[in-house]
Structure 1
Amino acid sequence: MQLTGAEIIIECLLEQGVDTVFGYPGGAILNVYDALYKYSHKIRHVLTSHEQGASHAADGYARATGKVGVCLATSGPGATNLVTGIATAQMDSVPVVAITCNVGTALLGKDSFQEVDIAGIVMPVTKHSYIVKDVTKLADTIRKAFVIAGSGRPGPVLVDVPKDVTAASCEYIQHKITKPEPVTDTIRKEDVEQAVQMISQSKKPFLFVGGGAVISDAWQEVRELAHRIQAPVCDSLMGKGAFSGEDDLYTGPVGMHGTKTSNYAMCECDLLIALGTRFSDRVTGNTQTFAPNAKILQIDIDAAEINKNVQVDACVTGDLKMVLKQILEKQEKMDHSQWVAHIMEMKEKYPLNYDHTQLTGPYVIQKLYELTGGDAIISTDVGQHQMWAAQYFKFKEPRTFLTSGGLGTMGYGLGAAIGARMGCPDKTVVNIAGDGCFRMNMNEIATAVRCKKPLVQIVLNNHVLGMVRQWQTLFYGQRYSQTILDDAVDFVKLSEAMGAKAIRVTRTEEVEPALKEALSSKGTVVLDCWIDQNLSVYPMVPAGASLDDVFDEEDMKENEQSI
């Protein structure tokens, strides 16, 4: 049948099973929005307040559902406003297809109104980018974009379509889409056998779970391996929920703000089994002293990650779920009760702790965990609140922690929460932000209200850029250059002006009733929780230091007394 390019785009989305898109219209993409109007009974469009919010929403939708997220934007600034969200998705391996429309082909390259080479701009932060100048190639390009975004190691793909191509017509033939198969052709039998041998010879194995365990849906295999070989487990931000935070073998996050137990265990283990992780600098600290007593076994789908940041002793390349299945077929049960008992002693000796005499971020998050029973999707922005969420909310299931781990994008969380809310309508969704991050994209509260679905926004408001100020306190002689936000901005009034219910919380006894009201609401609720600006995130490993240099507030007090 003959369809316009705009109609072909929508039909291709339907082929892929897309039910929700996030975007913002403009001149160059008007033909697509006109077609979308005709298909509104089949595809739900969420109008965000800003294109960046659309890209983060598509990202959050993808992380929460495991599907490919889709966002739309017009040419010029509309397209460039997507870039931060696209880069965020690239760093965290999130499958997103961004569709932009450009000026007509005759105007390309002539500095036309609202013209940018968006395909060129995003080339370093996408798996692939296209500009389609021939309507007969449009359908196949859209299909390729979805395959690339969702296969192998996922990531974002951008398709840019000139306006005249969206208006042109050609014959469209519907295709039946098949889901990409897991990557197994790179899994070598001898590598699996070596992995089993290393595990069988270890006395102190330690599992380090990364985002690949979530992406490949390998959580059942991860849990089975940990218990079969009696290995304690730590995780990265991206790996949260792949191993339950309520499991006795769980030691907490590792790295700069990881628990003392995880960091010390990393230094004491004799075998580190790294599952779908890229060994970020925030995890490893000084790579020269990382896991000094351990052989390292790395399992990852991306061969480029092997020996990139940390030199390993053995590896298996391929889809993590498939690799673990093969290992579990050969791996016998092991008894490491002495090693596990030592880990349990460390967990008891070095618990996470915070000031219980005042309202704090950890208190709010711990109370949120208690009231939800851990059954919620939590998104965050970036900073102290993000670390507290990772430390104090016990994530039991995968795809329940949405955060910008690689790029560290302030303003990410609220858009991501909206995406998760649309993709998982039966789940409780809460975004946790600091006041600095909330300022970045708080206009998306209007979007959340417009969606008419329950959503909770918690702002841990200390009137400073908390994490940056913490560094200034510890390493910059308390010179608080441009990190104090002590102004007249009132988040309660702003939220109410955008149609949300808003509650200010200033005391610990106000937290539980405010959370209960927010969690039971059928709309958007903002909790403005005022906490002290001097609160810091501990434990902490200084940048570039060894993981066993981890310190907490008690260590700082003891050090001051000894001086």
Structure 2
Amino acid sequence: MAERTAADLVVERLRAWRVPRAFGYPGEAIAPVVAALDRAGGDPEFVPARHEETASFMATGHAKFTGEMGVCLATQGPSAVQLLNGLYDAKLDSKPVVAIVGEDVAGPLGGAHQEIGLSRLFADVCNQFVHYARSAGQVPTLLDQAFRTAAATRSPVCVVLPRAVQEAAVPDLQSHAAGVITATPGEPLARVLPHEVDLAAAAQLLETGSRVAVVVGQGARDAADEVLALADRLGAGVASSLLGKPVLDERLPFHAGVLGEVGTRAAAELMGGCDRLLLVGTNNPWTGYLPMPGQVRTVQIDIDGRRIGSRYPVDVPLVGDAAETLRALLSRLPDRPNPRWRATVENSVDRWRRELADQAAAPAEPVNPRLVLQELSTRMPRTGSVAVDVGSVIYWYARHLELPPGVNAQLCGTLGSMGCALPYAVAAKLAAPDEPVLALVGDGAMQLNGLAELITVANHWSRWRDPRLVVLVLNNRDQSGTGGGRQPVHDPARRRPDVPYAGWARLLGLHGVRVDRPELVGAAWDEALAADRPCVVEAVVDARVPLSPPEPAFADLRGVFADGDAARRVREQVDRQLSVAAEDLV
């Protein structure tokens, strides 16, 4: 029998921490761990990516879609550098990821081939935990500490394993040798609830308001029922951050949609009219779309106390788990809905939804990108996942794609790095191979990472119980970096080289559909969602369609709420402005 090595201990610790797969790009310095994973027979599975950056995005995507720990592997030097983008994504969106990096420097340190100071390289992105293993006996304890730290701090961590350590024979771990600490796996996540005095203060503040608004973020992921119960008890309107879009049923008549630059006018109006604001699990960076400081009294709930008040002034901070904290609040709140305020919010939402339909129906050359997402919205599977890339596609996703309850959606929310959606989609599909997955990307992101990772899709799809992984590519050939009609795009120097995206999919043995006529958009989605294998939908869209960020507090709903005549005047003003905007668009 082959002698057990520290690389085998890595596999054992991954298995003990119930890690289903590790994503990476093999290389000499990490080869012993990859070989040990191969010997493990898929428990855990090693998923080779086409690039280290996409491997780190896959690990972060796994953490985002499953709520579990993501793991990525890389070798030293440039391979380690490529991990940084996905790890910064995990750091800024608070997801636990463990990076295991190999190092193989035979001679003296300082100028060796591919040598980089890994501790300094990862010191910022993995600031909670970066450690070297100096002996095989340290490996189990070091990995346990890394996993515990990642789970407790919701952040990426890094363990560096020299190749000599990976290949070293395993000592007797029962000997308690110097430097070896026995450890067992477990996630040290405590139950966190605010103090009673703070809960009482928050309840009093909210119940004395007459126009309550609730903004939910990704931290409210498991608290949808509690959010809705509180909103109904107070007659509140709700909105979401971009990362919080999947939390609530967007078909609710009082759901104003996404708040922020990519969001909706109804959400901006909600912020303009409220007198009480409840922030639940959100760290939304678009603070300019929140009410003017001093306009409202605010309660914020977050599991991480460092985030409370970091974006917006808060009257009552509540550090705690979202669902449990909301349940504690509900037990202290009387049933005091304000039907007039709720009706005002619903009227604003209804106007916005009619505007969205008009925007999607507006002519474009050749296809309106809003129409592409609107047609998908009516055909969305009832289960599954959506991965969204960075670019103009975020605007159309935020406004025009209505997510059914239970459909998870993730994006690189805070870092905003292009090229994340295909790696995310691969991670989501491997985690749930019996559910459909959609990836929404622009042509720039597809050329950046997507074309290569379609090879990974082609290598795995035949083992999926549900073969549907549909990739939408919005092909507008605009590489100006502005998009959305802010500048003309007829200049050849600013045109991205065209690629036959659907044809590339077919070349790999996948399905591909190219659509350049608006009347065929719906049929293209029907074909893609009925295909017996992954499919690329290439939609040739007009880069001149404006992004049209909403104006902060576009219409002050306080005036609408107070006076019926004022409401009519505001509606007439809004209708006139929309008419002018529609004429400009045409």
Decide: shared fold, TM above 0.5: yes
Distance in structure 2 (CA, Å) of the matches to 1:11 and 1:124: 29
Distance in 2, Cα, partners of 1:265 & 1:482: 42
Q: Which runs of structure 2 are paired with 1:296-315 in the superposition (5 Å)?
A: 296-315=298-317
Higher mean alpha-carbon deviation, 26-35 vs 62-71, is at 62-71
Structure 1 residue 496 displacement after superposition: 3.0
Does 2:104 correspond to 1:109? no
3-state SS of 1:389 partner: helix
Q: Which residue of 1 aligns with 2:8?
A: 7
User: Aligned letter for 1:533?
Assistant: A
Measure how far apart 1:481 and its partner are. 8.8
AA in 2 matched with 1:120: R
Instruction: Rate the CA distance shift 1:485–1:271 in 2: closer, same or farther, 3 A.
Output: same
Q: 1:183 to 1:112 in 2, by over 3 A?
A: farther
- Return the structure number with greater relative CO, CA threshold 8 A, min gap 6: 1
Query: How is 1:44-443 mapped onto 2 (pairs within 5 angstroms)?
Result: 44-104=45-105, 107=107, 109-126=109-126, 127-152=128-153, 154-168=154-168, 169-172=170-173, 177-184=185-192, 187-214=194-221, 217-280=222-285, 283-285=286-288, 290=292, 293-351=295-353, 352-353=355-356, 354-356=359-361, 357-358=363-364, 359-397=367-405, 400-442=408-450, 443=452
Please tell me whether the aligned partners of residues 103 and 112 of structure 1 are also in contact (alpha carbons under 8 angstroms): no
Deviations 1:415-435, CA, capped at 9 Å, x for gaps: 000000011122210000011
In structure 2, what is the Cα distance between the partners aligned to 1:77 and 1:299? Answer: 40
Q: How far 1:318 sits from its partner (Å)? A: 2.2
Q: Do structure 1's residue 456 and structure 2's residue 465 form an aligned pair?
A: no
Verify the 8 A CA contact 1:457 1:526 in the aligned structure 2.
Answer: yes
Residue aligning to 2:504 = 494
TM-score, normalized by length of structure 2?
A: 0.87
**1:198 Cα deviation after fit:** 0.9
Q: Is the 8 A contact 2:22 2:73 kept in 1?
A: yes
Q: Distance in 1 between matches of 2:300 and 2:492?
A: 41
Q: Which amino acid aligns with 1:190?
A: V
Q: Give the equivalent residue in structure 2 for 1:507.
A: 517
Distance 1:109 1:530, change over 3 A: same
Q: 1:559 to 1:229 in 2, by over 3 A?
A: closer
Distance of aligned partners of 1:82 and 1:190 in 2 relative to their CA distance in 1, 3 Å threshold: same
**How far apart, in 2, do the equivalents of 1:371 and 1:243 lie?**
19
Paired with 2:265 and 2:481, the residues of 1 have a C-alpha distance of: 19
The answer to whether the Cα contact below 8 Å between 2:260 and 2:289 also exists between their aligned partners in 1 is no
Tell me the CA shift for residue 368 of structure 1: 1.7
Structure 2 residue runs without a partner (length 5+): 175-181, 557-572
Alpha-carbon separation, structure 1, partners of 2:486 and 2:374: 27
Q: Percent identity?
A: 27
Instruction: Quote the offset at 1:51 in angstroms.
Output: 1.1
CA drift at 1:479: 9.0
Task: Quote how far apart the aligned CAs of 1:331 are.
Answer: 2.2
- Structure 1: 5+ residue runs without aligned partners? none
Task: Give the letter aligned to residue 44 of structure 2.
Answer: I
One-letter identity of the residue aligned with 1:143 = D
Deviations 1:335-382 (A, max 9, x none): 111110011111223334214134222222222222224533111111
In 1, distance between residues paired with 2:390 and 2:248? 22
How many angstroms does 1:553 deviate by?
11
**Alignment RMSD:** 2.8
Is the contact made by 1:270 and 1:294 (CA closer than 8 Å) also made in structure 2?
Answer: yes
Contact 2:272-2:555 within 8 A present in 1 as well: no
Moved more, 10-19 or 383-392: 383-392
Deviations 1:506-527 (A, max 9, x none): 1123222222222223322111
Amino acid at match of 1:166: Q
The alpha-carbon deviation at position 108 of structure 1 amounts to 6.8
Q: Deviations over 1:3-28 (max 9, x none)?
A: 31111111000001111121110000
Q: Deviations over 1:255-288 (max 9, x none)?
A: 11221111011121011100111241xx22277x
1:559 deviates by: 8.0
CA deviations 1:195-232 (Å, max 9, x no partner) are 11111111111000012112xx2233222222232211
The reply to whether residue 525 of structure 1 matches residue 531 of structure 2 is no
After TM superposition, the structure 1 stretch with the greater mean CA deviation from structure 2, 339-348 or 504-513, is: 504-513
Alignment partners' CA distance in 2, 1:438 and 1:554? 39
| Structure 2 letter corresponding to 1:47 | P
Larger Rg: 2
Question: Which is further off, 489-498 or 520-529?
Answer: 489-498
Secondary structure in structure 1 of the residue aligned to 2:483: helix
Bigger mean CA deviation after superposition, 506-515 or 452-461: 506-515
Residue aligning to 1:558: 580
Give distance in 1, aligned partners of 2:578 and 2:254.
29
Structure 1 counterpart SS, 2:246: coil
Residue 447 (structure 1) shift: 0.5
Q: Could you tell me which amino acid in structure 2 is paired with residue 124 of structure 1?
A: D
Equivalent pair of 2:258/2:398 in contact (CA under 8 Å) = yes
Distance in 2 separating the partners of 1:316 and 1:156: 25
Deviation at 1:37, TM superposition (A): 1.4
| Aligned counterparts of 1:140 and 1:191: Cα–Cα separation in 2 | 39
Letter in 1 for 2:453: E
Matched, 1:540 2:550: yes
Counterparts in 2 of 1:252 and 1:467: CA distance versus 1, 3 Å: farther
